[in-house]
C-alpha cells in the first residue's frame, strides 16, 4: 500500500475504535499501531500536501482521544517535520493547518512548541479574510500563554481575539470566543479581583452555554467549561466568606467530576483536572472547625490520586501534571510536619540537559518574591554578568525587593592544597597563597564575584549578603520558596568547579520533599557558622596561615612516609645480607 492508503486505513480504524460502544481491544490497538508505523511523509513534490498534513493532524487527534498519547505525539512531530520541509522554498500550508497543529501540541503539554507554531499561524492569517481563523489563533495563543504562566501575555492575546471576533465575525466562532472568555476568567481568578471575576463569569457562562448547546453536554470541552465555571464560583464565594454558597459550589464541582468520570472515563484528562480542582477547593474549604484536619487530609489524598493518574496518563513532564504537582506541594507543606515529609525527587537533570536545568533555575528565580538562598563554591553563574547565566534574573529579583543570601567557599579553604598537588617544590607550603592568587579560579572568578557582590550590595542595601566558609562544600544548592536544586561536586580541585556546565547531575526538589526541608536546615546551619565579608577580611591573614600550616603538615606527612619507606628498605637489605653471608660461611 502507499503512504496515503496506510494513512486512510489508520484513520478509518481509529474512528471505528472511537465510535465503538465498548473499549477498544488489544488487537485493534495493535492493528492501528501497525498502520501508523507505515505512515510516512509524502515526497515534497507530491500534490495535496495541505490535505495530507490535515489528515495527519486528524489522525494524531484520534490517537490522543484513544489514549495512545505517545503515538499521537509521534504523529504530530512527524507532521511538523513534513510541513517544515515542504515549506523550505515557498509557503504551502494555510493558517488553519498550523493552528490545528499548534492546538494539538498544546493538548500534549508541549506549550513552547505550540506557542511558536501558533505564532507562525498568526503570520499566515489575513485580517478580515474569508474565515475567522485569526480570532481562533489569537484565542489559542491566550490559552497557551495562560498555561505557561504568562498571565499578562494571555490577557493581551485574549483581548485581541475578542476584538477580532467582534469586528469580523460576531458570534460565528463560538468556541474561539469561549476560549478567550475563559482566559479572562482565569486572569480575574489569578488577580483575585471580585468585580472582574463577576463580569468574567457572566461572559464566560454565556459563551460556555453556546458551546455546550453546539457540542453537547458530554463533550470534553463542555466538561472543562463547567469545571472552570464551578471553580470560579466557589472561589468567589470563598473570597466573600459565604460559607453556605461555598459548600454548594463544592457540591457542583463534585458533580462535574462525577459526570466527567462517567462520560469520559476515570483516566481522561478532564476527569483528572476536575478531581484536582475539587481536591484543592476541598482543602481550602476545610479551615477551622471540628474535623477540618481530617477533611484536609482527605483532600490531600484526593490530589495525590489525581497526580498519580496525571503522571500515568499524561506523563510526568506534561504541563497539567506539573500544575497538579505544584498544587500538591502546597497542600502537603500545610499539613505534614517537616520530619514526616517523604523523600521526593521532582526531577533529575543530566549533563545533556544543562540548558533545561538552567531554564528551570531561571524560572524559579523569576517566580521568587521573598528570599533566594545559594550555597556554591564560587557563585560565578549568579554574580558575573558576562557569563549571562543567572545574573540578570538575580538582578531583576533584587529590583523586586527579594533578598539574596549566599554562602561561598573561602579561597583559603582546605581544597586549595589540590592546586599544589603534583609539585615537588620545597617551598610549596610557603608559596601556596601565591599559587592560589595566580590561579584562574582566583583571578577570573573569585575576585570578579566579590567585586560584583560589593557592587550589588551598594546598589541594593540590606538585600544582598555574602558569607564565606573555610570548609569544603559537597555541592551547590539553590533554594527558593517553592523549590530547591542540588548538584554534587565530583572534583576536589577548585580550578575545575567554576565556569563550566553541569558535570554530573542535578536534582530538583519541591517544598513537599524532605530533601527540600533538609536543604533549608543545612543552609541555616551553615549561615550561622560562616563569616560575613567584613569578618573574613579582618581575619583573612589567619585563614591564609591555616592553609600554609595544613600544607606544611601534609608535606611533613609525605616526607615521614618516604623516610619510613627508606628505613624499611634499609632494614630489609641488612637482613638479606646477613642471611646470604651466614649461608656462605657455612659452606664447606
More confident residue, 5 or 433: 433
Residue with the bigger pLDDT between 381 and 21: it is: 381
325 touches 317 (CB < 8 A): no
In-domain check, residue 280:
no
Q: How far apart, in whole angstroms, are the C-alpha atoms of residue 69 and residue 311?
A: 12
pLDDT at 578: 38
Cα 241 from Cα 244, distance rounded (Å): 9
pLDDT in tens, 87-118: 877 888 888 899 999 999 998 888 999 999 99
Q: Is residue 84 predicted with pLDDT exceeding 60? A: yes
pLDDT at 131: 58
What pLDDT sits at residue 47? 52
pLDDT digits (tens, 9 = 90+) for 225-271: 999 999 999 999 988 888 899 999 999 999 999 999 999 889 899 99
Q: What is the mean pLDDT of residues 129-150?
A: 86
Give domain status of residue 80, yes or no: no
Distance of CA 48 to the CA centre of its chain: 40
Name the grid cell of 481.
520558596
| All residues at 6 or more sequence positions from 184 whose CB lies less than 8 Å from its CB, including other chains | 155, 158, 200, 203, 204
What count of Cα atoms within 13 Å lies in the side-chain half-sphere of residue 450? Answer: 17
Lowest mean pLDDT among 48-52, 371-375, 386-390: 48-52
Say if residue 588's pLDDT is above 60: no
Closest CA to 73 of 24, 18, 110, 20: 110
Gap between the Cα atoms of 325 and 303, Å rounded: 9
Average pLDDT estimate for 135-157: 93
At 264, list the grid cell: 469520559
pLDDT average, residue stretch 109-137: 83
Render pLDDT for 292-340 as a digit per residue (tens, 0 to 9).
Answer: 888 888 999 999 999 999 998 888 888 899 899 889 988 888 887 777 8
Query: Which H helix or E strand runs over 56?
Result: helix 49-65
How does residue 454 score in pLDDT terms, banded at 50, 70 and 90? very high
- The predicted pLDDT at position 558 comes to 55
| The predicted structure's pLDDT at residue 577 | 39
- The residue that leads in pLDDT, 152 or 550, is 152
Supply the range of the domain harboring residue 508: 347-420+432-546
Q: Which residue has the higher pLDDT, 34 or 430?
A: 34
Higher pLDDT, 372 or 74: 372
- Could you tell me the CA-to-CA distances from 66 to 216, 265, 268 in Å, in that order? 20, 11, 10
Helix (H, G, I), strand (E, B) or coil at 287: coil
Flag the least confident range among 337-351, 469-483, 553-567, 571-585: 571-585
Give the domain CATH number at 515: 3.30.870.10
pLDDT surpassing 60 at residue 582 = no
Reported confidence tier of residue 430, pLDDT bands at 50, 70, 90: low
Segment among 80-94, 173-187, 513-527 with least mean pLDDT: 80-94
For residue 470, pLDDT over 50 is answered with: yes
Mean pLDDT of 5-12: 83
What residues have CB less than 8 Å from 456, skipping those under 6 apart? Answer: 383, 395, 398, 404, 464
Residues 6+ apart with CB under 8 A from 224: 270, 273
Q: Is the pLDDT of residue 483 over 90?
A: yes
Q: Is residue 70 part of a domain?
A: no
Domain-embedded: residue 470: yes
Cell 628498605 -> residue: 569
| Structural domain count of the chain | 1
Whether 412 shows a pLDDT value over 50: the answer reads: yes
- Please check whether residue 11 lies inside any domain of the structure: no
Lowest mean pLDDT among 99-108, 223-232, 452-461, 469-478: 469-478
Flag whether 299 is in a domain: no
Residue 374 domain-assigned (yes or no): yes
- What is the reported pTM? 0.68
* pLDDT computed for residue 560 by the predictor: 56
Measured distance CA(237)–CA(222) in Å, rounded: 23
pLDDT of residue 128: 52
> Considering the domain boundaries, does residue 315 fall inside one?
no
Amino acid at each position: 500500500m502507499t503512504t496515503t492508503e496506510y494513512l486512510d486505513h489508520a484513520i478509518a480504524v481509529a474512528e471505528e475504535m472511537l465510535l465503538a460502544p465498548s473499549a477498544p481491544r488489544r488487537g485493534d490497538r495493535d492493528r492501528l499501531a501497525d498502520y501508523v508505523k507505515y505512515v510516512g511523509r509524502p515526497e515534497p513534490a507530491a500534490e495535496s500536501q495541505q490535505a495530507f498534513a490535515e489528515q495527519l493532524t486528524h489522525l494524531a487527534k484520534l490517537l490522543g482521544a484513544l489514549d495512545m498519547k505517545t503515538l499521537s505525539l509521534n504523529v504530530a512531530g512527524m507532521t511538523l517535520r513534513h510541513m517544515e520541509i515542504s515549506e523550505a522554498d515557498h509557503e504551502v500550508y494555510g493558517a488553519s493547518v498550523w493552528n490545528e497543529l499548534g492546538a494539538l501540541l498544546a493538548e500534549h503539554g508541549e506549550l513552547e512548541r505550540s506557542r511558536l507554531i501558533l505564532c507562525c499561524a498568526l503570520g499566515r492569517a489575513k485580517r478580515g479574510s474569508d474565515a475567522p481563523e485569526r480570532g481562533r489563533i489569537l484565542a489559542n495563543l491566550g490559552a497557551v500563554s495562560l498555561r505557561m504562566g504568562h498571565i499578562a501575555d494571555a490577557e493581551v492575546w485574549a483581548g485581541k481575539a475578542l476584538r477580532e471576533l467582534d469586528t469580523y465575525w460576531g458570534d460565528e466562532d463560538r468556541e474561539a470566543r469561549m476560549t478567550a472568555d475563559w482566559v479572562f476568567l482565569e486572569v480575574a481568578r489569578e488577580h483575585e479581583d471580585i468585580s472582574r471575576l463577576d463580569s468574567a463569569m457572566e461572559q464566560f457562562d454565556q459563551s460556555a452555554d453556546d458551546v455546550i448547546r453546539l457540542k453537547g453536554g458530554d463533550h470534553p470541552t463542555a466538561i472543562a467549561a463547567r469545571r472552570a465555571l464551578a471553580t470560579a464560583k466557589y472561589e468567589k464565594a470563598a473570597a466573600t466568606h459565604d460559607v453556605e454558597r461555598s459548600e454548594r459550589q463544592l457540591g457542583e464541582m463534585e458533580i462535574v467530576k462525577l459526570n466527567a468520570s462517567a462520560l469520559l472515563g476515570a483516566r481522561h484528562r478532564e476527569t483528572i483536572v476536575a478531581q484536582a480542582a475539587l481536591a484543592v477547593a476541598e482543602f481550602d474549604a476545610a479551615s477551622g472547625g471540628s474535623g477540618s484536619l481530617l477533611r484536609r487530609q482527605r483532600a490531600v489524598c484526593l490530589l495525590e490520586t489525581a497526580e498519580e493518574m496525571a503522571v500515568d496518563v499524561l506523563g510526568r513532564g506534561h504541563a497539567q501534571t506539573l500544575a497538579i504537582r505544584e498544587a500538591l506541594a502546597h497542600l502537603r507543606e500545610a499539613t505534614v510536619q517537616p520530619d514526616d515529609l517523604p523523600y521526593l525527587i521532582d526531577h533529575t537533570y543530566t549533563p545533556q540537559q544543562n540548558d533545561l536545568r538552567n531554564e528551570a533555575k531561571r524560572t524559579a528565580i523569576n517566580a521568587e518574591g521573598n528570599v533566594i538562598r545559594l550555597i556554591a563554591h564560587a557563585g560565578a553563574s549568579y554574580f558575573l554578568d558576562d557569563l549571562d547565566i543567572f545574573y540578570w534574573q538575580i538582578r531583576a529579583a533584587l529590583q523586586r525587593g527579594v533578598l539574596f543570601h549566599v554562602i561561598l567557599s573561602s579561597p583559603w579553604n582546605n581544597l586549595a592544597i589540590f592546586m599544589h598537588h603534583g609539585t615537588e617544590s620545597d617551598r610549596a607550603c610557603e608559596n601556596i597563597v601565591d599559587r592560589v592568587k595566580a590561579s584562574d579560579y582566583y583571578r577570573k572568578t573569585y575576585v570578579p564575584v566579590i567585586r560584583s557582590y560589593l557592587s550589588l550590595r551598594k546598589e541594593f542595601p540590606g538585600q544582598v549578603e555574602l558569607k564565606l566558609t573555610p570548609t569544603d562544600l559537597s555541592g551547590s544548592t539553590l533554594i527558593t520558596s517553592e523549590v530547591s536544586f542540588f548538584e554534587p561536586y565530583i572534583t576536589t580541585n577548585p580550578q575545575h568547579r567554576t565556569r563550566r556546565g553541569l558535570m554530573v547531575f542535578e536534582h530538583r526538589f519541591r517544598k513537599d520533599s524532605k530533601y527540600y526541608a533538609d536543604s533549608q536546615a543545612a543552609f541555616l546551619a551553615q549561615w550561622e557558622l560562616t563569616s560575613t565579608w567584613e569578618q573574613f577580611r579582618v581575619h583573612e591573614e589567619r585563614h591564609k596561615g591555616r592553609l600554609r600550616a595544613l600544607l606544611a603538615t601534609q608535606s611533613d606527612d609525605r616526607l615521614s612516609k618516604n623516610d619510613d619507606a627508606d628505613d624499611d628498605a634499609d632494614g630489609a637489605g641488612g637482613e638479606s645480607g646477613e642471611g646470604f653471608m651466614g649461608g656462605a660461611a657455612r659452606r664447606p
